[in-house]
Structure 1
Amino acid sequence: MAARVDGSAEGGWLTAIAPYVRPRPIAALLLGITSGFPLALLLGTMTFWLAKVGIDKKTIGFAVGLTTPYTLKFLWAPLIDRVRLPLLSALFGQRRAWLFLIMALLFGAVWMLGASAPEKHLGVFAFWAIVTAFLGATQDIVIDAYRIEILSDEELPYGTANNQFGYRLGAFFAGVGTIAIASPEGLGLGWAMAYGLTGLCVIPGLLAALWAGPGLHERAVEAESRRSFARWLEETIVGPFREFFARRGAVLILLFVLIYKLGDAMGQAMLNPMIVELGFTDTEFVAINKLVGFWGLIVGVALAPPFMARLGMGRALFASGVLMMLSNLTFAILASQGHSTTWLTIAVATEQVTSGMGLAVFVTYLSGLSNLAYTATQFALLSSFASVGRTWLSTPAGYAADTLGWVGFWIMTTLVAVPGMVLLWLLWKRGFVVDSIRQVEAEPPPASRESAGEAREGAPA
């Protein structure tokens, strides 16, 4: 995966970027845009919106719980993995049939969420937020499985990096773009129109799915349809979980996934309310995110594949985790300085670079642990556990910010990340931090477990 050294700067540059611009990694990027925008509307943009209309910090902290479907999606992932939709599955295949249906429903739900006026009808707002979260989580089930299935082993790190770049790009559109459209300091079109236009982010994923064609899952689904109903039910509901929990270290891996990004999640839940409270204008916030955050994101995601190739998965997870912890301290400094565009710029740049890198590494790790026989269910299980930390374990963030103040709150988020790093060290020491299912089952010795780019079991050559 390393770039060719041929004495030509231009040739080395082209060689380095070539894996990112192959057709299927590009499709993964477009899918990431569609995958990334719903959750951003329900976290960053929603908390900014609620703060702007006068909702208190404690309520905003618990409003993050409206994204609960992201923590429970593994419950219905087996059905998405196996159930064929009439007509649509015959036309487009299993994955794309579900994807096109969910995209259409999600677009409508986002429009309704934007029109819900939380300052007047908080209950209506909460209802459409939950509907949007359910559809967004279901869309993620399909996209995550489809992405893994269309990427070869060689393309997986680059396709995952592209997907994370697309995810953060979708989140950027949903955050900065939606605020710019809604704000009187921007286009001034209001929240309903802003959310509705952001719903058009389903289009890149639609185009990518039409371009990339059916995934590798189609033959397995056809084989399943010829089996008895009892066998089908057992394979659909029990099989994915039985296969995962039969592996060495399965429980420890899930605990690690649960708490690895907890500090980062608590910080993200309260970032926008702090920005509003410190008196930054919409224009200042949008400009800094647009100019600094966007390029920081590009740098962070682009660094992830060579970062993993050079360090191996265990070291890459540890290093990116430490960097994300330290990035929270820049927001503590910002809080101590008050209305400082300089420190907001530094904090946003640091967070985007470290978070972009950390997410790409983390998702590549989870992707490598998903057996292609049960891609949707197992990846949903892993990502659901990650969402629990973001959704429910982080809900007291509003109380913590209210009690500790902003400086104390950001220091606390740094300390909260320490247990995840300790658990990672324990996993690494026992040989459970590996790149693929094959490595987990083979019980590799610690000296050899860092083979970056190891082929996933059952993946295409």
Structure 2
Amino acid sequence: MPTPSVHRSWSDALAIYLRAPVLTMLFLGFSAGLPFLLVFSTLTAWLRSDGVEVAAIGFFAWIGMLYSIKFFWAPVVDRLALPGLTRWFGQRRGWMLLAQALIALGLVGLALTDPVGHLAQVAIFSLLVAFGSATQDIAIDAFRIESAPDDMQAAMASTYIVGYRGGLIAAGAGALYVASAVSWEAAYLCMAALVLVGTLTVLIRPEPARLSLTSQLIHEPRVRAFLRATRGKPDWVRRLGAWVIGAIVCPFTDFFMRYRRQALWLLVFVAVFRISDLAMASMANPLYIDLGFSLDTIASVTNIFGIAMSILGGLLGGVLVARYGVGTMLVFGATATALTNLLFVLLASTGDNLPMLVVTIIGDNLSNGLASAVFIAFLSSLTSRAYTATQYALFSSLMTLPGKFLSGFGGLVVDFQGYASFFLVASALGVPAILLAIWIRRGSLLKGAVAQ
């Protein structure tokens, strides 16, 4: 459960960024962000530049669905020991190394494949990269939560976001630069080499302390009840049943047992916290274009400058959580996210106004970076250390799905009501998150919850 608000001095709050677990997330964040664009916008730029039809390129967007359904195989990452790797490196580091190997293999495969006439192979290697990337996300989230106490999670989330943005820059602008100067094959081989950043980090940092799988399972009442009920059955049946109950059933029952009636409200809060900024995301670029901004201006202001602002917001979020606590900053982050969407209403009303665009991007990216860091810390505090990978994968999927779903209807709202009305509605969608954040801050949702 979230830690109580603790007021640190500013020097102590800033010094948290010098801790080894916090710095580690900078490099693991880079490793997580690197593959993302390489199977999305960077890949589509390569395909189109090689003359692949736009209709065929559109189908590659479905690869992104792997990131939204990763909770399906999260129990395997959480509990299944990998032969050799788990014994030598531990559960979390072993899975990260396997995932990084899959990413590197997929990127090398893409580099050695000619897209023209070989789209099936491109799709297979892209799926391999995306699967490895989503699996790495599961393992990194579990590693982060288990590596440090709750009061360091916001700072770790902040450095993770900074590293992640760095990975996006390398896979976006970096890959395009290499492709322009040399070739697309060279670009993807360079990206495969950059996977070593995450691999070296995993090899250097220790595995976080955690109970062995056997120790965890034997303390689960449901597992013990199953083993008593299956006495006399073949050993493999009992072992498989105990694993399924411990890996799949117990992570969900654990959450509801700890938070009881408040559990459903917490899940509602997880689902609505980012609904405001995710719902408006699909119409941001169309707005810029329809207002008359050039592509160069959009790229410079929204991408380069916007990423810098989101990094600053993430770092600010980590410091403010360390200074004021998660509860207070949840309210602030939810409020800031909803209010900054109103800047898009003003932008839509003022037209091709570069200063207003800059102000809008500053507000939007600062608030989103801050709110993301705070919310990652909050989700980490909800997660049981016994089921980190499974529970966090569920939370992170639930966090994005509603907003992404509603975002698909953005064009219809704009067609009927215009951009200003659309962003006003998107801002209003943030009100439930603000109210629930205030409730959580006052302790109403967590009253009577069983401490982790």
Question: Normalised by the size of structure 2, how large is the TM-score?
Answer: 0.78
Residue type of the alignment partner of 2:245: E
Stretch deviating more after TM superposition (277-286 or 78-87)? 277-286
The answer to whether structure 1 residue 265 and structure 2 residue 266 are counterparts is no
In structure 2, which of residues 386, 394, 397 is the aligned counterpart of residue 381 of structure 1?
394
Tell whether 2:32 aligns with 1:32: no
1:210, distance to aligned residue in structure 2 (A): 1.4
Which of 377-386 and 112-121 deviates more? 112-121
Q: CA RMSD in A?
A: 4.0
The aligned counterpart of 2:232 is none
2:213 aligned with 1:221:
yes
Which residue does 2:224 correspond to in 1?
none
The one-letter code of the counterpart of 1:239 is C
Could you tell me which amino acid in structure 1 is paired with residue 270 of structure 2? V
The answer on 1:304 being equivalent to 2:301 is no
Residue 212 in 1 paired to residue 205 in 2?
yes
1:235 equivalent in structure 2: 246
Residues 1:115 and 1:361: Cα distance change in structure 2 (over 3 Å):
farther
1:394-439 CA-to-partner distances (Å, cap 9, x unmatched) read 33234444544443333332222233334444555662269xxxx8
CA distance in 2, matches of 1:116, 1:271: 34
Residue of structure 1 equivalent to 2:339: 326
2-structure distance, mates of 1:173, 1:268: 22
After TM superposition, give the deviation of residue 298 of structure 1 in Å: 3.5
Shift of 1:215: 2.1
Instruction: Give matches, 1:6-405, under 5 Å.
Output: 12=11, 16-39=13-36, 66-109=63-106, 132-175=129-172, 177=174, 187=180, 197-198=190-191, 202-217=195-210, 219-221=211-213, 223=215, 228-246=239-257, 247-248=259-260, 249-275=262-288, 280-281=293-294, 283-289=296-302, 292-405=305-418
Select between 193-202 and 363-372 the one with higher mean Cα deviation: 193-202
- Contact 2:440–2:446 (8 Å) recurs in 1: yes
**Residues 436-447 of structure 1 aligned to structure 2 (within 5 Å):** 440-441=449-450
Q: Which runs of 5+ in 2 are unaligned?
A: 1-5, 219-237
Q: Secondary structure at the match of 2:297?
A: helix
List runs of 5+ in structure 1 lacking aligned partners: 6-11, 443-456
C-alpha displacement at 1:329, in angstroms?
2.6
Rate the CA distance shift 1:350–1:84 in 2: closer, same or farther, 3 A. same
Contact in 2 for aligned 1:149/1:215 (Cα 8 Å): yes
Greater CA drift, 117-126 or 309-318: 117-126
Q: Residues of 1 paired with 2:449 and 2:156: CA distance?
A: 22
Partners in 1 of 2:95 and 2:148 — Cα distance?
A: 19
In percent, how many aligned pairs have the same letter?
32
Separation in 2 of the partners of 1:47 and 1:267?
A: 23
Deviation at 1:233, TM superposition (A): 2.5
Higher Cα Rg: structure 1 or 2?
2
Taking the aligned partners of 2:353 and 2:111, their CA distance within structure 1 comes to 31
Task: State the Cα distance separating 1:154 from its structure 2 match.
Answer: 4.6
Q: Which amino acid aligns with 2:241?
A: A
Letter in 2 for 1:166: G
Distance 1:4 1:197 in 2: 43
Given the superposition, is the C-alpha separation of residues 123 and 336 from structure 1 closer, same or farther in structure 2, using an over 3 Å criterion?
Answer: farther
* TM superposition shift of 1:300: 1.1
- Please say if residues 272 and 430 of structure 2, whose CA atoms lie closer than 8 Å, have aligned partners that are also in contact: yes
Shift of 1:113: 7.1
Residue type of the alignment partner of 2:153: L
Contact 1:261 1:386 in 2 (8 A): yes
Q: CA deviation at 1:106?
A: 2.3
Q: Is the 8 A contact 2:317 2:373 kept in 1?
A: yes
AA of the residue aligned to 1:215: P
CA–CA separation in structure 2 for the residues paired with 1:46 and 1:314: 40
Write the letter of the residue equivalent to 1:221: L
Task: Select between 273-282 and 19-28 the one with higher mean Cα deviation.
Answer: 273-282
Aligned in 2, Cα 1:33/1:309: closer, same or farther, shift over 3 Å?
same
Match of 1:449 in 2: none
Residue 452 of structure 1 is matched in structure 2 by: none
In structure 2, which of residues 428, 440, 447 is the aligned counterpart of residue 415 of structure 1?
428
- Conserved in 2, the CA contact under 8 Å of 1:34 and 1:205? yes
Deviation at 1:355, TM superposition (A): 0.9
Cα distance change of structure 1 residues 120 and 327 upon mapping to structure 2, 3 Å threshold? farther
Q: Is 1:77–1:376's contact at 8 Å kept on the other side of the alignment?
A: yes
Inter-partner Cα distance in structure 2 for 1:199 and 1:124: 17
**1:424/1:376 Cα in 2 relative to 1: closer, same or farther (>3 Å)?**
same
Task: Report the AA paired with residue 169 of structure 1.
Answer: G
Cα separation, 1, equivalents of 2:53 and 2:417: 21
Separation of aligned partners in 1, 2:182 and 2:413 = 34
| Aligned CA distance change for structure 1 residues 67 and 399 (closer, same or farther; 3 Å) | farther
Deviations 1:383-403 (A, max 9, x none): 111121243343323444454
Give yes or no for contact 1:170–1:201 (8 Å, CA) kept in 2: no
Asked whether the 8 Å contact 2:38–2:171 carries over to 1, the reply is yes
Q: Distance in 1 between matches of 2:77 and 2:279?
A: 30
